[in-house]
Amino acid sequence: MNKKLELDAVLEDMVKREGSDLHLKVGEPPMYRIFGKLTRSRFPIVDDESINRMIYGILTEERRERFENESELDLSYEILDFARFRMSVFRQSGHIGAVFRYIPLEIKSIDDWELPPVLKRLALLRGGLILVTGPTGSGKSTTLSAMILHINESVRRHIIIIEDPIEFLHKDIKSTIEQLELGIDTLSFADALKSVVRQSPDLIMVGEVRDLDTLREALNAAETGHLVLATLHTADASQTVDRIVDMHPPGEIHKARLQLSNTLHAVISESLLRRLEGKGLVAAFDILICTDAVRTCIREGKTHQIPSIIQTGTKFGMQLLDDNLKELYLNGIVAYDEALSKSSNPDDFEKSVSKPAFASLKERVKDGAG
């Protein structure tokens, strides 16, 4: 007879094995994502009885009712003194499914994560918009938490964080921090933004710009002197600018370009890659800093010129994603195919980088280069 599945035991095992995500699906054993790869756990196959017990056992009555009505639910879950998890519950093929993303209790710094040093300067700006972008699971929340920690340790600011759900828990150090969760403290990102600008914040962090109303409120807050940090699911800086402009109706495009050119300070786009023949992941970044030349490109709709400006703007802390990927590959940190898979311009990447440069870490060590 199969051992009874206990959610906390599965989550604890996943964390101890250095996993980032737990996937629960009826008919399969619990699956872990470890350094980007899905791996079957040692636990028994999930059935309807076990997943219903695990999921409904941690939901409040209000959240049970919401899940029954909407068939999907996002929330956070904590194992006291161990870890937090971002939890997404849904229905698929008539069964309940769930994914848990691991959120460490300890918030690491920009230096701990070896993030680009320019993030320290950007975090201490007094107003404007900073966007952290990338696909799901690329480390956006981790980057934002490190930036907020840097502010919290450096200066006295009033910080308001709006998330769905709350992920990293911040404690006051020098700054005062308030964290709002959708569905509990506010109904929407847009509603929360309208309200919090009247609460004298220095910095507002928005978990995700999902719609035009949220975007408008974020731009307005940045325009009125608040520093706004927010995320988008875009791959690089140029795509991010186009996405923001295109979210507006055709009649507002010119106004959107003008407002964005005046408020945007930086776009930090990131991707996570598996390290070569070793455990762990490493981040690669596309970083746009808004100089006068960048603001002109945004106003005039010439975003195709942005990559060239980034390439020549390294003294401002800018870098192209593909240049960062080449550096990681040529330094033997990631495999060629891994770098190529994350490239914004695969054809150019293949032309500019010789594939046999470092076939493997073992070959480098064998040749005396390691």
- HEC profile of 33-100: EECCEEEECCCCCCCHHHHHHHHHCCCCHHHHHHHHHHCEEEEEEEECCCEEEEEEEEEECCEEEEEE
Q: Which residues contact 174 (CB under 8 A, 6 or more apart)?
A: 152, 153, 154, 155, 156, 157
**pLDDT of the residue at 356:** 56
Three-state DSSP class for residue 20: strand
Q: What are phi and psi of 265, to 5 degrees?
A: -100, -40
The CA distance from 130 to 209, in Å, is: 12
**pLDDT of the residue at 3:** 55
**pLDDT of the residue at 362:** 44
**pLDDT of the residue at 36:** 87
Instruction: Copy the structure tokens of residue 285.
Output: 């970044």
In the chain the domains, ranked by start, together with CATH numbers, are 7-103 (3.30.450.90), 118-357 (3.40.50.300)
**pLDDT of the residue at 136:** 87
Each residue's pLDDT, cut to its tens digit, for the chain (370 residues) gives 345 789 999 999 999 999 999 999 999 999 999 998 999 999 999 999 999 999 999 999 999 999 999 999 999 999 999 999 999 999 999 999 999 999 999 999 999 999 999 999 999 999 999 999 999 889 999 999 999 999 999 999 999 999 999 999 999 999 999 999 998 899 999 999 999 999 999 999 999 999 999 999 999 999 999 999 999 999 899 999 999 999 999 999 999 999 999 999 999 999 999 998 767 899 999 999 999 999 999 999 999 999 999 999 999 999 999 999 999 999 999 999 999 999 988 999 998 887 754 444 444 444 444 3
Q: Decide: pTM greater than 0.85.
A: yes
Q: What are phi and psi of 20, to 5 degrees?
A: -105, -25
Q: Which residues contact 324 (CB under 8 A, 6 or more apart)?
A: 284, 285, 286
**pLDDT of the residue at 183:** 86
**CB half-sphere exposure, 253, CA atoms < 13 A:** 8
Q: Which residues contact 59 (CB under 8 A, 6 or more apart)?
A: 67, 73, 75
Classify burial at 127, counting beta carbons within 10 Å of its beta carbon; exposed 0-12, middle 13-18, buried 19 or more. Answer: middle
Q: Which residues contact 103 (CB under 8 A, 6 or more apart)?
A: 76, 83, 84, 85, 86, 141, 167, 168
The CA distance from 14 to 41, in Å, is: 8
The CA distance from 144 to 203, in Å, is: 12
The CA distance from 306 to 287, in Å, is: 11
* pLDDT tens track for 97-137: 999 999 999 999 999 999 999 999 999 999 999 999 999 88
Dihedral over Cα of 206, 212, 213, 215: its sign = positive
Q: How far is CA 172 from CA 148, 169, 180, 284, in A?
A: 11, 10, 15, 30
Q: How far apart are the first and last CA of the chain?
A: 50
DSSP one-letter code for 358: G
Instruction: With CA atoms as reference, report the closest residue to 245 among 305, 298, 307.
Output: 298
**pLDDT of the residue at 224:** 94
